[in-house]
Structure 1
Amino acid sequence: MSAAAGSKVVLVTGASSGIGAEVARQFLERGHTVYGTSRHPETVTDPIPGVRYVRLDNADYQTATACVAEIGAVDILINNAGESQAGALEDTPIEEIENLFRTNVFGPVALTKAVLPGMRERHSGTVVMVGSMLSSFPVAFRSNYAATKSALKAFALATRREVAPYGIRMISVEPGTIATGIGDRRSIHIGADSPYRGEYETLAAATRHNEESGIDAATMAAVIVDAALAEHPKPFYAKGNRAGLVFTLRRLMPRQVILDMTARIHGLSRVKS
């Protein structure tokens, strides 16, 4: 399908709920042609009128190729879909860590690779990697998730120069705590008798409180949409959790101070190491 004059063809992954749904809605409201992905597009419970849903499973790289082949030319790709994970590293099976990287990193990379040839040939395109502020401010018991989002950011920032000569823009966006209910879908790995269980429960309670009072999905979506449509987008955007202040502190303060501050925000006391 070809877009109307002035509009873009936008592909938003994970568009059936949360930030992805709001991003799809806002692109549509601005007059763009929007495709949203879901592992089961026929079962999307609250479809957005005007959004065309296509199948994509981040853990199945072949679906990335099939998805792009079905849509055709993609002007803007929003890599938003992913899974959340928490727990003690010692208690998490290596297979679960591999699965998380497959879904949160390798799947988005596969989809990006699928759209790049067309963007390069047209000398135009934008790819946004939606990460997490846990990448910049990692905290205990979220190591695997933070690592996947750090990998996404590195892909975006390193590839930015690689594809720039072909008119392609790569952008990394880090949301802070968002009130989307993602905590209800998070996989947890903590043993019943784990020595880490007490501190994990402390962090989990603080995380639930922070998520309940986090910024709404529509506010975060507006940052993503504005960045994707900007004439000269910055390489990196962050929103939520007083991003302006904490990133300034991150530049000025010793790394250990920032790690201790992040731990305290999540209910954990400082431990001298």
Structure 2
Amino acid sequence: MAENYAATHRIVLVTGASNGIGAEAARLFVERGHTVFGTSRNPDTVAVKVPGVTYLRLDNADAASIAECAAAAGDVDILVNNAGESQAGALEDTPMEAIEALFANNVFGPIALTKALLPGMRERRTGTVVMVGSMLSSFPVAFRSNYAATKSALKGFAMASRRELAPYGIRMLTVEPGTIATGIGTRRSIFIGENSPYKAEYEVLAAATRKNEAAGLDTVEMAQVIVDAALSDNPKPLYAKGNRAGLVFLARRVLPRQMILDLSAKIHGLRKISA
């Protein structure tokens, strides 16, 4: 592997590059001189296309779309699995079909795309896969169980396969954003019944989430973390940014797990309840 990974020209594939973190990451990769493919479910409708990015169609829930995207991108050196769906609501109110669709978009699709690109990376003995997760994986909160589970699954795949793929020059890592001001709250799937017994508490969490997201980390700052990690000579297994990441991850190591869960609930406006 090259001594200076960032200095070598790379072919980069960033999924979910039509807006938000994905668009900014694609922009930064272009600015650093790399060849960049970005994906969207419908490239023709991308409102503001990043100059220098070639857009490909990708639907994470469609196996044919994944295969076509991988073939079109070719010899990808860096894959950033950023595309996904956000979901919130009460577990009891969420249909299994919606949970299965969420896992298809957030887990099975990214894993399938990764698998499609791994043979080429292994043969060339170089490659980087970045799983864009969420700090909700490390700090789960009520009414976000399904989403947190999908991001935990991505992190598990990356952590477990990191050593498996390392002998072939392939680097696996996860980046966990905290609360980001991407406007994703307006696109989030929400499942809460009109007469749900969980509705009052969900509304408390939803209000806190809207407030936190409005004041969240800028997408450019988060994209910078992703790009720097992907181009690092020796990337760490896990990067986190936002929500005072350094402090809260330290607290997670030294405080009882229940206390961390209680603190996460409190940040979202929920009162402490003994399980």
Aligned with residue 15 of structure 2, among 3, 6, 13:
13
Cα displacement (A) at 1:49? 1.1
Aligned with residue 85 of structure 1, among 87, 95, 102:
87
Aligned with residue 24 of structure 1, among 7, 10, 26:
26
Q: Detail structure 1 runs of 4+ shifted over 6 Å in the superposition.
A: none
Matched residues in 1 for 2:89 and 2:272: separation? 19
Matched residues in 1 for 2:134 and 2:74: separation? 29
Matched residues in 1 for 2:232 and 2:53: separation? 22
The amino acid across from 2:37 in the alignment is Y
Matched residues in 2 for 1:256 and 1:26: separation? 39
Matched residues in 1 for 2:60 and 2:266: separation? 34
The answer to whether 1:258 aligns with 2:273 is: no
Matched residues in 1 for 2:263 and 2:71: separation? 46
The answer to whether 1:104 aligns with 2:106 is: yes
State the percentage of identical aligned residues. 72
Match of 2:235 in 1: 233
Aligned with residue 39 of structure 2, among 19, 37, 40:
37
Matched residues in 2 for 1:248 and 1:72: separation? 41
Match of 1:161 in 2: 163
Match of 2:70 in 1: 68
Secondary structure of the residue that 2:135 maps to in structure 1? coil
Matched residues in 2 for 1:6 and 1:204: separation? 44
Matched residues in 2 for 1:6 and 1:136: separation? 33
Match of 2:176 in 1: 174
- The normalised TM-score by structure 1 is 0.98
- The normalised TM-score by structure 2 is 0.97
Cα displacement (A) at 1:174? 0.2
Match of 2:4 in 1: none
Matched residues in 1 for 2:262 and 2:63: separation? 38
Match of 2:116 in 1: 114
Match of 1:127 in 2: 129
The amino acid across from 2:51 in the alignment is P
Matched residues in 2 for 1:43 and 1:132: separation? 27
Query: Aligned-residue CA RMSD in angstroms?
Result: 0.7
Secondary structure of the residue that 1:135 maps to in structure 2? helix
